[in-house]
C-alpha cells in the first residue's frame, strides 16, 4: 500500500510541492525556535546559586542643607549607617540585612577584580567583585561548594576570609578550589596584603539566562570605614512574615529608620528588580513562543484546507478503495501517512539547512557554542513532533470525512 502512496504523492507533485515548500520553511524556523527555547530553558533551570524570595532592596538617602530637618552637627554618616543596619537587623520580621557595593543579583552595575595565587593570575574583567558585609550571604542564601550553610559562610566572612566561586580556575585547568581552602590569595584591589580563602562557593549566576559555567565572583568583607548612603541595603524577611512588608516598613520609616541625616527613600522587592532586569530576555522568549504558535497554526490551517479539497477530489478513488475491501481505518491511516511522508521529506532538507545555520553560528549561543549534537537532535525532533502533531490534527477532519464516503453513492456519481 505504501508503494502506491508514494506513487500517488509523486503524481500529485505540483500541489505537494506547495506543501513541501511550506513544511520546509516552517521546519527550519521551528527548529530555530526550538533551539532558542532549549538554550533559554536549560539556562533558566540551572542552579542560580542564590535565592531572592522574600528579599528587598532599601534605598537610603541623605538630607541636604536645603531641608529644615538637616542637622549640620551630625557628621558621622558611617556610624549612622551602621546604626541603621543594626536597627533593621533587629527588626522582628527581618531574617538578615546587609550592606554591599555592586553586589546584589540582577544588578546592572559591576566592579571586577583580579585574583592571584602563586603563579596563577586570572586577570581582571570576568570576575565580579562583591564587596559585602558578612550577612550578605545570609540574605541571598549563598551556599558553599562543600555544603557550607549561609550562616557558616557569614561566619567565615566575618573573620576576614574571602569566598571565591569554585569554578574560578577552570580556565587554568583546575576544576575545583577544594585543595586551596585556607591558602592565601592576592586580590588586585589591595595588593599590599593577602587574603585567606575561607570557602569555595557554588557558582553564582549573574542573571537567570546563563548557565553559570562562566560566572565567577569573589566576596570579601566591607568594614564600617566604607559605609555610606550609596551602599546597597538588602534585607531578607522571614518566610512566614512576608506580608505587606513594604507598607509596614514605610509606616515605620519615619519613626525608626531616621538616623542622623539618613532616611529611607525607596523600597523595592527583588522580584520586581528581576522582572525589570530580564525584560529583554523575557520579551524575546515571548516573541519566539508566539512565532512558534503562529507557525503551528498556519501548518494546521494549510494542511486542513489542502486535504479538505483533496478528499473531495479523491471521492471516486476512496470509494473504489472501499469497494475493493479497504476498511475505514485503512483510509484514515492512508491520509495521515501521506501527510507525515511529506513532512519527513521536508525535514530531510530542513536538517541540511539547520546544520548549515548552526555551523554559521546563526542560532543561539550556549556557553560559547551553537552546534552541539545532543541539543541539535533534540531541537530537530521537537520541531518534527510539533509539526507532525499539527499535520495529524489538520488531516483528522478531512480523513474523518473520507471515512464516511459511501462507495455506492460516490461511484454512482462517477
Contacts with another protein, 22-61, as mask; x by CB under 8 A: x--xx--x-----------------------------x-x
Residues 6+ apart with CB under 8 A from 390: 296, 297, 299, 300, 303
Helix (H) or strand (E) holding 117: strand 115-117
Compare residues 22 and 95 and give the one whose CB is closer to another protein.
22
Compare residues 283 and 327 and give the one whose CB is closer to another protein.
283
Compare residues 182 and 305 and give the one whose CB is closer to another protein.
305
Q: Could you tell me if 132 and 85 are in contact, meaning their C-beta atoms sit under 8 angstroms apart?
A: no
Q: Could you tell me if 141 and 50 are in contact, meaning their C-beta atoms sit under 8 angstroms apart?
A: yes
Q: How far, rounded to the nearest angstrom, does the alpha carbon of residue 356 sit from its chain's CA centroid? A: 26
Cell of 301: 490551517
Residue 71 is a binding residue for another protein (CB under 8 A):
no
- Of 48-56, 64-72, 118-126, 134-142, the window that binds another protein (rule: CB under 8 A) is 64-72
Compare residues 253 and 355 and give the one whose CB is closer to another protein.
253
- Of 116-124, 233-241, 266-274, 336-344, the window that binds another protein (rule: CB under 8 A) is 266-274
- Of 19-27, 113-121, 188-196, 403-411, the window that binds another protein (rule: CB under 8 A) is 19-27
Compare residues 118 and 266 and give the one whose CB is closer to another protein.
266
Contacts with another protein, 87-106, as mask; x by CB under 8 A: --------------------
The residues facing 56 across adjacent strands are: 235, 269
The residues facing 144 across adjacent strands are: 201
Q: Which of residues 271-330 bind another protein (CB under 8 A)?
A: 272-273, 276, 279-280, 283, 286, 290-291, 294-295, 297-298, 301-302, 304-306, 308-310, 312-313
Compare residues 21 and 369 and give the one whose CB is closer to another protein.
21
- Indicate if the alpha-carbon torsion angle 20, 26, 32, 37 is positive or negative: negative
DSSP-derived 3-state class of residue 192:
strand
Report in angstroms how near the CB of residue 399 gets to another protein at its nearest: 14
Strands (E), 166-261: 184-187, 190-201, 216-221, 232-237
Q: Which of residues 131-190 bind another protein (CB under 8 A)?
A: none
State how far the alpha carbon of 127 is from the alpha carbons of 147, 199, 241, 275, 399, in Å: 22, 17, 35, 24, 61
Residues 6+ apart with CB under 8 A from 173: none
Report in angstroms how near the CB of residue 181 gets to another protein at its nearest: 34
CA distance 281 to 261: 40
CA distance 89 to 98: 8
Report in angstroms how near the CB of residue 23 gets to another protein at its nearest: 9
Q: List the one residue out of 212, 190, 191, 173 whose CA is nearest residue 44.
A: 212
CA distance 366 to 375: 10
Report in angstroms how near the CB of residue 409 gets to another protein at its nearest: 19
Compare residues 255 and 329 and give the one whose CB is closer to another protein.
255
Q: Which of residues 105-134 bind another protein (CB under 8 A)?
A: 108
- Indicate if the alpha-carbon torsion angle 78, 83, 86, 88 is positive or negative: negative
- Of 94-102, 236-244, 270-278, 365-373, the window that binds another protein (rule: CB under 8 A) is 270-278
Residue 11 is a binding residue for another protein (CB under 8 A):
no
Compare residues 238 and 268 and give the one whose CB is closer to another protein.
268
Residue 233 is a binding residue for another protein (CB under 8 A):
no
Instruction: Out of 5, 9, 37, 63, name the contact with another protein by CB under 8 A.
Output: 63
Residue 263 is a binding residue for another protein (CB under 8 A):
yes
CA distance 408 to 318: 11
Residue 19 is a binding residue for another protein (CB under 8 A):
yes
Q: List the one residue out of 267, 234, 265, 229 whose CA is nearest residue 248.
A: 267
Residue 14 is a binding residue for another protein (CB under 8 A):
yes
Enumerate binding residues for another protein (CB under 8 A). 14-15, 18-19, 21-22, 25-26, 29, 59, 61, 63-64, 66-69, 108, 250-251, 253-254, 263-266, 268, 272-273, 276, 279-280, 283, 286, 290-291, 294-295, 297-298, 301-302, 304-306, 308-310, 312-313
Amino acid at each position: 500500500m505504501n508503494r502506491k502512496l508514494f506513487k500517488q504523492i509523486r503524481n500529485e507533485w505540483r500541489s505537494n510541492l506547495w506543501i513541501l515548500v511550506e513544511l520546509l520553511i516552517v521546519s527550519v524556523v521551528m527548529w530555530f525556535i526550538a533551539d532558542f527555547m532549549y538554550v533559554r530553558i536549560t539556562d533558566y533551570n540551572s542552579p542560580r546559586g542564590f535565592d531572592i524570595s522574600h528579599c528587598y532592596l532599601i534605598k537610603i538617602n541623605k538630607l541636604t542643607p536645603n531641608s529644615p530637618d538637616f542637622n549640620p552637627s551630625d557628621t558621622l554618616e558611617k556610624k549612622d549607617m551602621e546604626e541603621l543596619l543594626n536597627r533593621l537587623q533587629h527588626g522582628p520580621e527581618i531574617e538578615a540585612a546587609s550592606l554591599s557595593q555592586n553586589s546584589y543579583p540582577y544588578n546592572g552595575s559591576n566592579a571586577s577584580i583580579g585574583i592571584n595565587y602563586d603563579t596563577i593570575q586570572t586577570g581582571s574583567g570576568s570576575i565580579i567583585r562583591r564587596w559585602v558585609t558578612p550577612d550578605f550571604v545570609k540574605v541571598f542564601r549563598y551556599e558553599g561548594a562543600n555544603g557550607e550553610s549561609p550562616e557558616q559562610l557569614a561566619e567565615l566572612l566575618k573573620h576576614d576570609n574571602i569566598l571565591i566561586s569554585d569554578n574560578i580556575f577552570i580556565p587554568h585547568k583546575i576544576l575545583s578550589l577544594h585543595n586551596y581552602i585556607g591558602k592565601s590569595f592576592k586580590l588586585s584591589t589591595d595588593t599590599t596584603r593577602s587574603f585567606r580563602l575561607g570557602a569555595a562557593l557554588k557558582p553564582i549566576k549573574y542573571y537567570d539566562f546563563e548557565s553559570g559555567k562562566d560566572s565567577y565572583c569573589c566576596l570579601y568583607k566591607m568594614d564600617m570605614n566604607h559605609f555610606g548612603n550609596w551602599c546597597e541595603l538588602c534585607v531578607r524577611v522571614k518566610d512566614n512574615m512576608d506580608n505587606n512588608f513594604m507598607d509596614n516598613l514605610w509606616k515605620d520609616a519615619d519613626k525608626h529608620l531616621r538616623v542622623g541625616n539618613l532616611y529611607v527613600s525607596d523600597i523595592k522587592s527583588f522580584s520586581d528588580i528581576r522582572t525589570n532586569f530580564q525584560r529583554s530576555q523575557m520579551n524575546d522568549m515571548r516573541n519566539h513562543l508566539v512565532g512558534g504558535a503562529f507557525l503551528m497554526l498556519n501548518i494546521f490551517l494549510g494542511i486542513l484546507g489542502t486535504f479538505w479539497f483533496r478528499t473531495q477530489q479523491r471521492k471516486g478513488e476512496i470509494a473504489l478503495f472501499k469497494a475493493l475491501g479497504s476498511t475505514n481505518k485503512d483510509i484514515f491511516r492512508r491520509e495521515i501517512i501521506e501527510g507525515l511522508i511529506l513532512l519527513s521529506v521536508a525535514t530531510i532538507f530542513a536538517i541540511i539547512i539547520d546544520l548549515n545555520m548552526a555551523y554559521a553560528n546563526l542560532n543561539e549561543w550556549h556557553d560559547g557554542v551553537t552546534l552541539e549534537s545532543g541539543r541539535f537532535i533534540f531541537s530537530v525532533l521537537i520541531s518534527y513532533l510539533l509539526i507532525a502533531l499539527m499535520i495529524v490534527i489538520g488531516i483528522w477532519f478531512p480523513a474523518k470525512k473520507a471515512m464516511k464516503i459511501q462507495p455506492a453513492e460516490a461511484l454512482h456519481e462517477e
